Structure 1
């Protein structure tokens, strides 16, 4: 997810959100201590409540169209059904597997640590919002296939929408050139939805200020303590996945030395951390994977951009930890079936998650709605979550590089002489890429058509 700025010297959106959160915290604590009746009733409970609810509703309205059009573009952008063969199948399978493991481990850690345990948000108006009765595991997965796609879209049944959209995208690939007008239309609508996301997120500082002010006015400073535990669990889960889980995958599937990988991927991680954008890091990741690690250029040029589109391990981890945190805060027991639903949704939604600010938050509202958790709780984690974006991006691009190296190695296309050379690719700084080379690398085999503005022709 990338950071947006309105100008070269403008304040970043993250800074604005943090200012809004801090100002809301301070004002809320002051109003909580003063307890002025007419302010609490008309300003906090009236104006701030209205603005906060409008912001939450705006996030919710983005979910269905954003998932549909982004997924169509992602699947159709692969270009040909044949690409979903050996190399594409390996990359896709590994990306889905790492994402599933990431969120499963994150949920397990969160359940053990129990961030937010014992704090019930009784002061927040959640009338009419209760936890859903957990269906059986079999009903959960059987329900992924919609009986009526139109009803699924109208009812916001996201698992069914994602399944239907993926099937539609594959059918689009099978039609070849005949589907070009549809792909172009979906591409335009996807770009349009990205602009809508930008518009909605531009109001995030105001929305967060109103939500946080109201929350702390009603609850007081004690509400901040569970958020500290949330941040701690999230950071621990992200670093565990980065340095342990992904390195185990690398060793098991390729037999390569994880320490060599960590040493050679550092420039891409540093760039991802500084930019907070998986898409912007594609050229640097490609250069590290090919020139420093010896991965085949053809394999890497497919798997790295493909991973930047569908591999969102960090975002999935955030969704898992946030779901457990908010379930504890609201005192709602989701049960095994509920957490399996969260895992399934995070894995499927990662395919359609675009690298723009706010999309991970939009996807979180989808997950919370699916398991019946009040989405008003997002106010607690929104400002803090923005700070986690840089770490999540580093985790995402590391996963892209791991899968690219594994696929190259298993295909017999990894140059071990380059891999074993500690100075390989060091002649030029991987971060030092001229604009022409950057454009060429970023567009080499990007599977997401809206990144280039043109659909890939059928082969």
Structure 2
């Protein structure tokens, strides 16, 4: 009988084994995994532009298939919620974490070669294109497909998306625990692991609290819009929250999210349209997690955390992660490129981001899908007002 271990537990086991073995294994053993990390890290860098194209191009193309005004309202509401989550997280994390996390003036990650065991070989895997090039290409293709209705190109990018999702689920995600094991064993070997582990529990607790604060903000807005008790609305959506904890996928949770959202009293037409859409474009929970983890890693590294630097990063997160929540761990995979280009993360810092994110991926996904119900209600109110106003204009035109 084959026992399947959840990804979160595989990450936890990998970290625990890495810390345990790194304190006494010989250097050659550490260098074996350093070699694996060198190759796998290069492959990840190669895959990032492909992931961006595979997620964003078909995601934008599908946005053009909805009914105009409803699509526009729903998209603006989702993006606003995602950005609000990121900005809220920045101000909380940037003020709270510096007083808790020790600052090591960059010694931990700035020059990792000073304390990490080296790889036996160094293989450079050059990406086919840069992250910015991939983003521009994805936007061009997605908007072009939506504007022209090209079925051929749409099918090509849909199939490319399937291939990349398979790459993530069948290759990258299964190998990530090995990659993380090697990173933590190497850090233990170099005497750095205590500094790294100091941020895990602190950041994790803060993230969960921020998730629920964001849900309260979303449902307070929804409750005010439709005249309902926000706590009652959240209670109706809890089955979706707990389902997402298990699936770690917004897409896989759509049936439950739809069922529960229909009980909130919103427009059935709006809910049936927005819930599947929001499974790909609403990312408030994932944004909270990524911004929190990024700030924690930067503080540990002794880097300055500035709003002027993070705001563009937050704005880009809401775009680069389109369709990524459908894949467990997809959000952090899609974000690796801008973490490197916009925040200057090196491979060690990116590996830590992956470990931190995946350790609580299910909670971010649960927050995403639970918030979808609130946003669907808000859109129902706006759409109803627009439809009412439109009807009045038509009535006046008929009367005159």
Per-residue CA shift, 1:111-154, capped at 9, x if unaligned? 011253413562557379xxxxxxxxxxxxxxxxxxxxxxx973
Residue 189 of structure 2 is matched in structure 1 by 217
Given that 2:250 and 2:325 are in contact with CA atoms closer than 8 Å, whether structure 1 keeps it comes out as: no
Given that 1:62 and 1:197 are in contact with CA atoms closer than 8 Å, whether structure 2 keeps it comes out as: no
Aligned-pair CA distance for 1:332? 1.7
Alpha carbons of structure 1 residues 379 and 71: separation in structure 2 relative to 1, 3 Å: closer
Alpha carbons of structure 1 residues 86 and 329: separation in structure 2 relative to 1, 3 Å: same
Match of 2:371 among 399, 403, 406: 399
Aligned-pair CA distance for 1:221? 5.0
Given that 2:180 and 2:351 are in contact with CA atoms closer than 8 Å, whether structure 1 keeps it comes out as: yes
In structure 1, what is the Cα distance between the partners aligned to 2:95 and 2:303? 16
Given that 1:123 and 1:219 are in contact with CA atoms closer than 8 Å, whether structure 2 keeps it comes out as: no
Aligned-pair CA distance for 1:194? 1.0
Aligned-pair CA distance for 1:110? 0.9
Alpha carbons of structure 1 residues 125 and 210: separation in structure 2 relative to 1, 3 Å: farther
In structure 2, what is the Cα distance between the partners aligned to 1:225 and 1:312? 27
Structure 2: gaps spanning 5 or more residues: 114-126, 386-400
Structure 2 matches for 1:291-330, cutoff 5 A? 292-330=263-301
Per-residue CA shift, 1:251-296, capped at 9, x if unaligned? 4544432122112112222222232221121111111111x12222
Match of 1:191 among 148, 162, 167: 162
Aligned-pair CA distance for 1:394? 1.5
Residue 59 of structure 1 is matched in structure 2 by 44
Given that 1:365 and 1:375 are in contact with CA atoms closer than 8 Å, whether structure 2 keeps it comes out as: no
Aligned-pair CA distance for 1:101? 0.4
Given that 2:112 and 2:348 are in contact with CA atoms closer than 8 Å, whether structure 1 keeps it comes out as: no
**2:214 aligned with 1:241, yes or no?**
yes
Residue 226 of structure 1 is matched in structure 2 by 199
Given that 2:34 and 2:183 are in contact with CA atoms closer than 8 Å, whether structure 1 keeps it comes out as: yes
Structure 2 matches for 1:410-421, cutoff 5 A? 410-412=382-384
In structure 1, what is the Cα distance between the partners aligned to 2:112 and 2:17? 27
In structure 2, what is the Cα distance between the partners aligned to 1:269 and 1:213? 34
Residue 71 of structure 1 is matched in structure 2 by 56
Residue 18 of structure 2 is matched in structure 1 by 24
Match of 1:154 among 122, 129, 134: 129
Match of 2:35 among 34, 44, 50: 50
Given that 1:124 and 1:218 are in contact with CA atoms closer than 8 Å, whether structure 2 keeps it comes out as: no
Alpha carbons of structure 1 residues 376 and 269: separation in structure 2 relative to 1, 3 Å: same
Aligned-pair CA distance for 1:201? 1.6
Aligned-pair CA distance for 1:55? 2.7
RMSD: 2.5
Q: Secondary structure at the match of 1:219?
A: coil
Q: Which has the higher contact order (CA 8 A, sep 6+)?
A: 1
Residue 313 of structure 2 is matched in structure 1 by 342
Residue 447 of structure 1 is matched in structure 2 by none
Aligned-pair CA distance for 1:360? 2.1
Alpha carbons of structure 1 residues 350 and 200: separation in structure 2 relative to 1, 3 Å: closer
Aligned-pair CA distance for 1:103? 0.8
Residue 355 of structure 1 is matched in structure 2 by 326
In structure 1, what is the Cα distance between the partners aligned to 2:194 and 2:112? 23
* Equivalent pairs, count: 367
Structure 1: gaps spanning 5 or more residues: 1-6, 129-151, 414-459
Alpha carbons of structure 1 residues 268 and 187: separation in structure 2 relative to 1, 3 Å: same
Given that 2:211 and 2:367 are in contact with CA atoms closer than 8 Å, whether structure 1 keeps it comes out as: yes
Residue 424 of structure 1 is matched in structure 2 by none
Per-residue CA shift, 1:30-73, capped at 9, x if unaligned? 33xxxx8xx23x332x3232222323223222211111122221
Given that 2:53 and 2:137 are in contact with CA atoms closer than 8 Å, whether structure 1 keeps it comes out as: no
Given that 2:56 and 2:138 are in contact with CA atoms closer than 8 Å, whether structure 1 keeps it comes out as: yes
In structure 1, what is the Cα distance between the partners aligned to 2:89 and 2:79? 15
Aligned-pair CA distance for 1:163? 4.9
